[in-house]
Every structure is written in C-alpha cells, then in structure tokens.
Amino acid sequence: MGEDSSSAHYNLNDTGGEVATGDSTSAHYQNRAGYWAMVMDYHISISSPLDLAMSAIAGIGQSTVTNNYRTWTVITDNAAGYSLYWRADQANMLNANSDAMLAYTPVTPNVPEAWSVAAATSEWGGHLGSTSTTVNTTTWGSADTYAGGKWLNVATSDYNIATRVDETSVGGDNETIYFGAEVGANKHQPSGTYSVNVTVTAVTL
C-alpha cells in the first residue's frame, strides 16, 4: 500500500491507514498514515502569428487599420483562467536611421482612449479587437477603427490587456490586436520602414 498500482488497463494511487492523518505508534510499531497530496497540473499555450506589415502612410495621415492586426489563440485547462499581456521591446517605432514614430500618448496614462494624435507629431499604438473572446468593450471600445475603438501605447513592461476567469474551450480563445500609426498634418516624418517588436504573453491565474 502507499505506492502506485498499475497494469496495462489502469493506474491507481493508494494509501493505507486512513483512519487518521499523522503518526500512529505503540511500543511495537510506528505507522505514518495520511492522504496523498493532490497535485494539480495545468497547461497553457499561445499561438505565434506571423509578423505584421502595417499599411503604408503616404506623407501624412493614418495607416489604414483594416488589415493591421494579428490574432493569438490561447488554450488552457486552468479552472482559474489566464491573463493576457503585451509588451514592446522599445517605446518608439524606429527606421534604419533611428528616426522615430513615438509611442501613443493617452491623456490618462495606461487608460485606452479614442485615437488622437497632435498635428506636430507622429505616434503608434495598439487596440484589443472587439471580436476578441475576452475583450472588455467598455475598456477597448466596440469598433475596430481609430474613432470607434480605444487605443493605448504598447508599454515596455507587461501590461494586462485581458483576463479570463475560467478554462477555455478545446479550441481556445482568439485574441485579436490591432496596431495603428499616424503622421500629423504638420509633422515632417522621414521616409523608411519603421519597426518594433511586440511580445504577447498568456499566464495562468
């Protein structure tokens, strides 16, 4: 007793002496009896979509947001769910000459808002899509547009963009993130390909 019992058809963990938990002793014996600790082994996975090439900006204006997105699929059997985070390796988008498109600057730090970029600057940011499985549309808006969605800078430390409080379906949750960029009407932005690395992470709760 107290060991694994198994055959080709079953596996059983058993323990003897379950009248009480703890040491049972007399002058002739000592028996350590107790329940086996239950080990919970949860799993989580997240997909890795291809790199995104955002639509180009000709001089000034906004990058067309329609196809500026990628979708991550999160699957977990953790009954407490998971949290989803994003993080950028640098605050600004840079080109080969280190010219910058600045990180989006919301009026209230860390609070998504309707897109607004001043005429004398250029900025980029992100938005959790309205069709995402765990999206809070009060936080992120109910439309995937500059005007109808709510946008935020992608910080250089992990920022919680969504949380689920139970396990996913077998197919998982689809979490879609849109990226936007704009060159203001009075901003001279050097030409080039601007890039930044964004990491999306799912962590069990």
**Average pLDDT along the chain, 205 residues, taken 10 residues at a time:** 62 57 66 62 94 96 97 97 98 98 97 98 98 97 97 98 97 98 97 98 97
Residue type, 59: G
Residue 127: both structure tokens together: 């938005």
Nearest to 82 by CA among 45, 121, 41: 45
CB atoms within 10 A of CB 63: 19
The pLDDT score that the predictor gives to residue 2 is 52
Count Cα neighbours of 114 within 13 Å in the Cβ-side half-sphere.
Answer: 3
Q: Are 156 and 91 in contact (CB under 8 A)?
A: yes
Write down the pTM of the prediction: 0.81
Q: Which domains does the chain have, with CATH numbers?
A: 4-33 (no CATH), 44-204 (2.60.40)
Element (H, E) at 198: strand 198-204
Do residues 16 and 28 lie in contact, with contact meaning Cβ atoms separated by under 8 Å? no
Residue partners of 102: CB distance under 8 A and separation at least 6: 91, 92, 121, 122, 123, 124
